[in-house]
Amino acid sequence: MGLLSEGSPLSWKETKKWADTVRNQGILQFINLYHKLKNRQNDVLKWGDEVEYMIIKFDHDRKIAQVSLRASDVLDYMHQKEKENPSEVRSLWHPEFGAYMVEATPSKPYGGLTSHFNIVEANMQARREEIKEALVAGESLMCLTSFPRLGCEDFTDPPTKPNPHKGALCSLFFPDEAVYGNHPRFKTLARNIRERRGKKVIINIPIYKDANTRSPFVEDLTSLGDDGQGAKAALPDHIYMDAMGFGMGCCCLQVTFQACNIRESRVLYDQLAPICPIMMALSAASPVQRGYLSERDCRWDIVSASVDDRTNQELGFEPLVDDRFRINKSRYDTIDSYLSPEGEKFNDLDVVYDRDVYQQLRDAGIDHLLAQHVAHLFIRDPISLFSEKLHLNNEEDTDHFENIQSTNWQSMRFKPPPPNSSIGWRVEFRPMEVQLTEFENAAFVVFVVLLTRVILSYQLNFLIPVSKVDENHKEAQKKDAVRGSTFWFRRDVMTCDSPPEAACMKCKASDQSEYMKMTINEIINGKDSGFPGLVPLIKKFLSSVDVDVDTQCTIQQYLGLMQRRASGELMTTARWIREYIHNHPMYRQDSVVSQQINYDLLNTADKIQTGDLLCPELLGSFQSKTKDDIPNAIQKAENCYDHVNSGGQLEDCYSHLNCVEGES
Ligand code: ADP
Ligand code: MG
Ligand code: MG
Ligand code: MG
């Protein structure tokens, strides 16, 4: 979840007092950083995934599955091992919001070799092997975007009780004990968000109305200790949730790429923004919330509402007196503006930004688009602050900048290099939901990385108005959007700069408007008359690149999965979960996912993940090689790393956009 500073958290009142200082210093830090690094050139492609997991506790006798609140023990164990045997470390383990969550990344980023696509899955698989010894009997590490019965009675192991009157969350459903406790950051964030907005967060997701679902669907919350606040906030026919844990307690799949320079990172940030809703819909995996089937397949709006710290004034419910801006979006939301010059004409949203910060950035020689982006991030208050981190050296430190940056959770993140490091300008792709198996997670990650290579090599243009991307982002979360929805997409993605081998895939449609509505199938697989499709473009690109046979075979499987998910031939995870519930003998067509259904669902999902159960409707006949041959796959991974470390070079055609121009 971004920066994790150690130390003693300040109260919200104290934090608020320091807000201007943090912003003023944070901007100076960004300006210094920018001028130091704006001309940084020739960084090579590096990239890495982040996978988030839940530790699930199965009680096979009682037939229940719960979240196990042992993440801090598990992480302590993993970190100890890391310390003892640093040379054996293949993955890094990080805390996340939930006391039942962990995040893992590869220990080193992958590089520009095409063979690295062949080791992602093995690395993910190795993580599971590594963490096994830290788990206790009955526990399983699962990639679940949302735990179906999060916030229901008896959902944690050990048992806990929410306290609506005291603590960080004050939730009717979600106990403070289910928030990661070893580091104060997470509880502080939750408390400060609640205190800043002056009330608990309000999350309402439309319930899926089945034949026997109560209508209107209204819950009596008094028995949970509601003082009337909940009843007022809960909308009829919606699943009501009241705590940060419902959003930040979800898992996701992210990818970060290093660009050769700042210009390329701005291009990738922009070009991938319209891809966000498409990949979110394809990766949809969270149709159940707080024990009820919902009308949505994705977590996004839940997370967004779960950290929405806007006050009534900022929301426009009251006149602006103490606060500074009317703000259209939560801190966790889609991007508001493109960053590259090509994107400028598509910036059709009214971007809220701090005019003084903007002017300061402009006076420091920063161009309009970047200044607007940073000044937009800086409309927010710092939402957690540690007493040890108040006084910094603005020439060397960037903590205040990072404080604001890392609590602006947007669909794409533009990541400047950390000070005094070998790391270059990066972008992070953040919309995807996590999949059950390593095979699927690797497929999604590899697909996105390959797409970046095609975008750069063929100089593709996916830009459409940002407002249309936002429309898509809403659409993408709807039930079965892959099959039922259409999305704004650019009609002709080729540019004047596309090389001839790509230009042959130019759109042949006669209608000249720049963008149109397409299905995910058309976007991924192409249309007979016109749009080439993202997978055919990737395949075309791959045919011009040197890829060893084994890697080629792996990539074909990943692309095949994408194609068949997009066509609806294979199910999304969300659809699979829905069908499983509908077909469960104990499901009463009332939208309720009971303890027993939840247990059976997760038990089945766990078996699919381990490979003990085949699931052709989800995975087709695709086979993960690494299942049988983990040691070999890991060895291969090591060899690849060694190759990079001993100066192995990037394959030329597979590298970057012309790495010549600096930032003007
Ligand atoms: P955050 O949580 O802030 O998004 P993490 O450190 O959890 O960041 O994950 C960052 C990802 O970026 C990891 O997969 C890591 O391997 C990868 N990574 C590390 N260094 C680089 C780099 N120089 N370029 C691109 N990716 C990198
Ligand atoms: Mg994370
Ligand atoms: Mg991370
Ligand atoms: Mg991340």
Over residues 4-27, the pLDDT tens digits come to 546 789 999 999 999 999 999 999
Cβ contact 102:190 at 8 Å: no
Whose CA is closest to 270, among 172, 175, 370? 370
Paired residues of 292 in beta bridges:
289, 592
Q: What percent of the chain has pLDDT over 90?
A: 86
Alpha-carbon distance of 160 to 74, in angstroms, equals 19
Chain position carrying tokens 């200082």 = 21
Q: Which two tokens stand for residue 505?
A: 């895939």
Mean of the per-residue pLDDT values for the chain? 93
Tell whether 408 is covered by a domain: yes
Tell whether 490 is covered by a domain: no
Confidence band, pLDDT 50/70/90 cuts, at residue 507: confident
Whose CA is closest to 174, among 195, 149, 192? 149
- Candidate from 93, 105, 421 with most ligand 1 atoms within 8 A of CB, to mutate: 105
Cα angle 425, 474, 208 (rounded to 5 degrees) comes to 135
Q: In this model, does residue 631 exceed pLDDT 90? A: no
Tell whether 565 is covered by a domain: yes
Cβ(426) – ligand 1 distance below 6 Å: yes
Q: Which two tokens stand for residue 444?
A: 């999604």
pLDDT of residue 258: 97
For the entire predicted model, the pTM comes to 0.95
Domain count, the chain: 1
Alpha-carbon distance of 72 to 102, in angstroms, equals 9
Q: Does the CA dihedral 194-299-531-560 come out positive or negative?
A: positive
pLDDT tens for each residue of 332-360: 999 999 999 999 999 999 999 999 999 99
pLDDT tens for each residue of 96-151: 999 999 999 999 999 999 999 999 999 999 999 999 999 999 999 999 999 999 99
Q: What is the CATH number of the domain that holds 73?
A: 3.30.590.50
Tell whether 431 is covered by a domain: yes
| Mean pLDDT of the region 425-443 | 98
Cβ(648) – ligand 1 distance below 6 Å: no
Tell whether 559 is covered by a domain: yes
Q: Ligand 4 centroid to 549 CA: how many Å?
A: 32
Shortest-distance atom of ligand 1 to CA 103: 7
Whose CA is closest to 557, among 636, 448, 431, 442? 442
Range of the domain at 409: 1-199+207-217+240-459+549-664
Cβ contact 69:99 at 8 Å: yes
* Neighbouring residues of 309: CB distance < 8 A, sequence distance ≥ 6: 192, 193, 196, 197, 330, 331, 380, 381, 383
pLDDT tens for each residue of 390-432: 888 888 899 999 999 999 999 999 999 998 899 999 999 999 9
Cβ(95) – ligand 1 distance below 6 Å: no
pLDDT of residue 530: 81
Shortest-distance atom of ligand 1 to CA 94: 7
Confidence band, pLDDT 50/70/90 cuts, at residue 622: confident
